[in-house]
Amino acid sequence: MLFNSFQFLIFFPIVFLIYFAVPMRFRKYVMLAASLYFYMAWKPAYILLIIMTSLVAYFSALIMEKPQAAKYKKTVLIFALIINIGTLFLFKYFNFFNVTLSSVLGVKQLLPHFNLLLPIGISFYTFQTVSYFIDVYRGKFKAEKNYPYFLLYVTFFPQLVAGPIERADRLLPQLKNPKPFSYDSAAEGVRYMVLGMFKKIVIADNLAVCVDMVYGNLEGSNGLQLAIAAVIFTVQLYCDFAGYSDIAVGAARVFGVELMQNFHRPFFSKSMNEFWQRWHYSLAIWLRDYIYFPLGGSRCSAVRHLFNLLVVFFFSGLWHGASITYVLWGVLNGIIVVIEVLMRKPTDSAYKKLSLPRTLEKLIKIGYVYIIFVCTCIFVRADTLADVGYIYKTIWADKASYFNLAFVRESLAAMNLNTFNIVFYSLLIFSLFLIGLLSRKEPITRIVARQKTPIRWTIYILAVLVLFIFRYSGVANFIYFQF
């Protein structure tokens, strides 16, 4: 099992003290050793998988850069893709495609079923590795000749298992040229980490109790309970993933490394297209640069453009999980974005005719995006397609009872949503909304940093107290570790 949040709080300071205690030239080895140990804390043998795929990427990039190998450049690229994507396929997708193909053909499984443990974070480090040698192939980045540096780029522990998915041209130079200790950078990093832990262990993990209770007993839950769980899950999912991203950004910042921001206030989006540019930004731009643009992007016929969008969303769904529910989730979001593209002019014209106040128009658009997100996220949380159908059907079938106070009280009581829990969950969600509202122009961490010393330290003390008092007492892994 990988470190939980509080084990990480022991591991991190030790690495920090050693890292800044040794001379600059040895720091890469300290960080590399820490990163390898961090991953091996989950399952030691699987570090060999990262080393194997990274060696293939490393040597392939060196070969592709040699002038005398120009005629074999594409062959080397294909070989590196087969090894890296093939490894991801074997561990994550082989059984899914085997079962799906056999089902389509109406025969028994064509190939044996492999009971392989999915390597934690394999989708993240594979995409990061693939982007490196594709950029070298395109001539956008020079191949790294020092393997320890390259391995550190692949395994850098703050973002190894759940991103953000970094690019070599951003991350490698920072790892090769470590910065001296900076109090301001370290303080900003700690603020990000505290914010991330608040989102994860206070909001996401507490909300997960309610969500798991309902999804663990679908047939015993009524439509109102399923609807409430669907809404709460979207907040849980966001806080779980955005929380990890904040911790990753903060941990890296303490060491003087800048990682990209993975979330840009997605719940304030006014269209689904905008939402997916704000949610999991590092994956969005990876899919854009390595799938959408090579397919032609928007610089093609209108029909081809819409097809390209659908392909990108198909791969986005598949990236998230080897399941028909994830694939359909991706395709469904792609269809919604395509409809938005087709309806953009009529929609803008309709709003113009209505002449609504600007704030009201924004709220309507934001509400529309959130409702769509809630409805589609049922595909993410449900285990099977049959469960998805059951949830939608039950929510619709029980709609007449939602205004029955006795029914509502009984439903809430069965979910352990007493007055205290309702107020507690509402305050958690409101705090998240407030953070997003305050972060409109700059991150909340910088706003806190600008406050006068007494106010700033009062906020720090209160933040730590909240983490310890209201943290979830159980053990909860990050949702995106499974990807």
Query: Virtual CA dihedral for 29, 31, 32, 38, nearest 10 degrees?
Result: 140
Buried b (16+ CB within 10 A) or exposed e, 335-371: ebbbebbeeeeeeeeeeeeeeeeeeeeeeebbeebbe
Count of CB atoms within 10 A of residue 79's CB?
14
Do 225 and 395 touch, CB atoms closer than 8 A?
Answer: no
Confirm if 290 and 131 have CB atoms less than 8 A apart. Answer: yes
Amino acid identity of 212? Answer: D
**Rounded Cα gap, residues 49 and 32, in angstroms:** 16
Helical H segments across 156-289, by residue range:
168-176, 183-197, 205-215, 223-254, 272-278, 281-287
Task: Give residue limits of the domains in the chain.
Answer: 5-178, 185-482
What is the tens place of the pLDDT at every residue in 156-210? 999 988 879 999 999 999 999 888 999 999 999 999 999 999 999 899 999 999 9
Q: Specify whether the CB–CB gap between 19 and 30 falls below 8 A.
A: yes
d(CA 315, CA 297): 15
Radius of gyration of the chain (CA): 24
Specify the pTM: 0.92
In angstroms, rounded to a whole number, what is the distance separating the alpha carbons of residues 436 and 242? Answer: 12
To the nearest 10°, the Cα dihedral for 448, 452, 457, 462?
-60
Q: Is residue 88 within 8 Å of 56, Cβ to Cβ?
A: no
* Tens digit of pLDDT at every position of the chain (483 positions): 556 556 677 888 899 999 999 998 899 899 999 999 999 988 889 999 999 999 999 999 999 998 887 788 999 999 999 999 999 999 998 888 888 777 777 677 667 777 888 888 899 999 999 999 999 999 999 999 999 999 999 999 999 888 799 999 999 999 998 889 999 999 999 999 999 999 998 999 999 999 999 999 999 999 999 999 999 999 999 999 999 999 999 999 999 999 999 999 999 999 999 999 999 999 999 999 999 999 998 888 889 999 999 999 999 999 998 889 999 999 999 999 999 999 999 998 998 888 889 999 999 999 999 999 999 999 999 999 999 999 999 999 988 888 899 999 999 998 888 888 899 889 988 998 999 999 888 889 999 999 998 999 999 999 889 888 888 766 667 776 666
> Is there a contact between 197 and 478 (Cβ–Cβ < 8 Å)?
no
Q: How far apart are CA 269 and CA 272, in angstroms?
A: 7
**Whether the Cβ atoms of residue 204 and residue 240 lie closer than 8 Å to each other:** yes
